[in-house]
Amino acid sequence: MSGNPYPLGLRLARRRVVVVGGGAVATRRVPALLDAGADVLLVSPELTPALRAHVDAGRLRWEPRRFAPADLDGAWLVQVAVDDRVAAAAVSAAAAERRIFCVRADDRAAATAWTPAVTRHGPVTVAVLGGGDPHRAMAVRDAVRDLLNVRTGLAPAGGTAAGPAGSPGGGPAATGPEAAPGSGGRAPVAAGAARGGGVPGRVALVGAGPGDPELITVKGWRLLTEADVVVADRLVPGLLLDELRPDVELVDASKIPYGPSRAQEEINRILVERALAGKFVVRLKGGDPYVFGRGGEELLACAEAGVPVTVVPGVTSSIAVPAVAGIPVTHRAVAHEFTVVSGHVAPDSPASLVNWEALAALRGTLVILMGLKNLAAITATLVRHGKDPATPAAVVQEGTTGAQRSLRSTLDAVAADVAAAGLRPPAIVVIGDVVGALDV
């Protein structure tokens, strides 16, 4: 195909976009489509766990079968994410017939639209097409991202990922584009390519934050851009994965409640094996790696195998999610303590490690993670042990994301209110007088 591409920003809100294929490519592409508000129809006999999580949460529609041309009726755009060239060509043909633009992961020459390398900075989206070379597009995108980060004081502090290097920004000097070349000799992010063979690998346990992709730390983001392998959880913001280089191996370690789960040992094995093969592995975990995240087990497995580990703390949902719902976990003259507890084990279970009687006696804020399933039992237990049934309570689902929902209630009514409102995990329960402390 000749001629230069003509750049456009597609406004996809409520417009049908069809994604054909349910593998790694679709897993990477779907989050940006959802972020654009598209009405996504996914056609594929099988799905990755991450895609299934989108389906389960009602964010997109899934047709569990092979593609049929009529799937494109009413669509504005189609994204082909299958390896099978014959199947992909059939989608292309159906798209051409309907004059629908068709992105093809398997064959850019056959595509009628190309996906640019993207970096997002608040309201600004920068999209780069590399003239047929995706690596060039990535390199330019990375350079632009660094430049924009310099302007906002968030530039990576150069060099390799090792060590505690780099308080970000390095002060007020780097305020304009002119400052960039001189500011510590930063090279464009060369990533995995910089490491030669035989160099020992390592693992970084990185907290991805609670859901908003901008809530990853500067260091976590930098290590992510340098990774050879990324092992990601289900709660990790999809948009972070959207910006990975295509040569990065993305391992989906999704552990969907009550669904197919990959044993923790298998995750540990992948981390150790890839690192021993010389790779830089980023284990990306929702929130903070050590808050109900099993990060400690992964650290121990690596340590046992002699694999060096860097831990990058994350913004934990236990504090951030109440915050974005207008609830400070402490407040002057209201609460001088907050307690974070897991509600995934029922209070009367012999497996429970939580002293609910002691919690009922505390004045401060109680933040309960993974607590929806057992919420009725938990609140009844707290009341039975003397906590005031009128204590304010709040529940926040998918906090810090576009899908955030929340409700306010009281200790004795919150379980019924959650059921009535149909709130679902992931959600956080906050109990205490801080709920409402900022209401004016």
Q: Catalytic residue numbers? A: 233, 255
Closest distance to ligand SAH from the beta carbon of 409 (Å): 16
- Part in contact with ligand SAH (CB under 6 A); list of ranges 124-132, 176-184, 285-293, 375-383: 285-293
Residue type, 18: V
Give yes or no for residue 321 binding ligand SAH (CB under 6 A): yes
81 vs 327, which CB is nearer to ligand SAH? Answer: 327
Q: Point out which residues pair with 430 in neighbouring strands.
A: 367, 394
Give yes or no for residue 293 binding ligand SAH (CB under 6 A): yes
Task: Please list, in sequence order, all residues whose beta carbon lies within 8 angstroms of the beta carbon of residue 420, skipping any fewer than 6 positions away.
Answer: none
How far is the CA of 150 from the CAs of 122, 184, 240, in angstroms?
A: 15, 12, 20
134 vs 347, which CB is nearer to ligand SAH? Answer: 347
* Size of residue set near ligand SAH by CB under 6 A: 25
Separation between Cα atoms, residue 300 and residue 304, nearest integer Å: 6
Closest distance to ligand SAH from the beta carbon of 210 (Å): 4
Site for ligand SAH in 202-231 (CB under 6 A): 210-211
From the number of C-beta atoms within 10 Å of its C-beta (0-12, 13-18, 19+), residue 201 rates as: buried
115 vs 374, which CB is nearer to ligand SAH? Answer: 374
Closest distance to ligand SAH from the beta carbon of 401 (Å): 6
Separation between Cα atoms, residue 232 and residue 208, nearest integer Å: 9
286 vs 432, which CB is nearer to ligand SAH? Answer: 286
Task: Please list, in sequence order, all residues whose beta carbon lies within 8 angstroms of the beta carbon of residue 322, skipping any fewer than 6 positions away.
Answer: 328, 329, 367, 394, 396, 399, 428, 430, 434
Separation between Cα atoms, residue 302 and residue 282, nearest integer Å: 13
Site for ligand SAH in 371-430 (CB under 6 A): 396-401, 425-428
Closest distance to ligand SAH from the beta carbon of 372 (Å): 8
CA dihedral 334, 414, 55, 28 (to 10 degrees): 10
Closest distance to ligand SAH from the beta carbon of 400 (Å): 5
Binds ligand SAH by CB under 6 A, chosen from 22, 134, 237, 287? 287
Closest distance to ligand SAH from the beta carbon of 418 (Å): 12
- Part in contact with ligand SAH (CB under 6 A); list of ranges 92-100, 193-201, 245-253, 282-290: 282-290
Backbone conformation region of residue 40, classed left if phi is above 0, alpha if psi is from -120 to 50, else beta: beta
Binds ligand SAH by CB under 6 A, chosen from 286, 347, 364, 432? 286
For residues 339 to 358, the per-residue mask of contacts with ligand SAH, x marking binding by CB under 6 A and - elsewhere, is --------------------
- Part in contact with ligand SAH (CB under 6 A); list of ranges 100-108, 122-130, 286-294, 296-304: 286-294
Binds ligand SAH by CB under 6 A, chosen from 189, 204, 281, 369? 369
Sign, CA torsion 265/270/275/281? negative
The SS3 of residue 341 is strand
DSSP class of residue 255?
Answer: B
Backbone conformation region of residue 21, classed left if phi is above 0, alpha if psi is from -120 to 50, else beta: left
The site for ligand SAH (CB under 6 A) is made up of 210-211, 235, 286-288, 291-293, 316-318, 321, 369-370, 396-401, 425-428
